[in-house]
Amino acid sequence: MNKAGLIENISAKVTGVSKKQVEDVVETLVNTIIEELVAGKKVNLVGFGSFEARKRHARGGINPQKPTERITIPEVSVAKFKTGKTLKDALKGKLNTKEKIEEAVAEEMAQEM
């Protein structure tokens, strides 16, 4: 599923909300996550997972166009995603209904507080 498919799916499931409104919310969500990661902060969506910016240290490598030549790969920031318990359980088949997933998310949120 791509972003357009996600927007279509959400707007079909949530009554009283236009596609444009859903698109604005999805865009705002994505932009907020990006801003927080750029600022070096962690974004935690209880039940779904967490996003975090990490540094990948500089390292040596081999030039793919000239295999005999060694190159230095510079340090870079990368986004890491760690799945939350509810998502893991749903993927394992432990949570197979919408109600069970909602209960698990509510439990996780209560434990976070």
Q: Is 54 left (phi over 0), alpha (psi -120 to 50) or beta?
A: beta
pTM confidence score: 0.74
pLDDT: is 91 or 103 the higher one? 91
Q: Which residue ranges make up each domain of the chain? A: 1-41
Asked whether the CA dihedral 60, 39, 107, 105 is positive or negative, the reply is: negative
* Cβ atoms within 10 Å, residue 23: 17
Predicted confidence (pLDDT) at residue 54 exceeds the cutoff of 90: yes
47: its two tokens? 């039940």
Predicted confidence (pLDDT) at residue 99 exceeds the cutoff of 90: no
12 CA to centre of own chain: 22
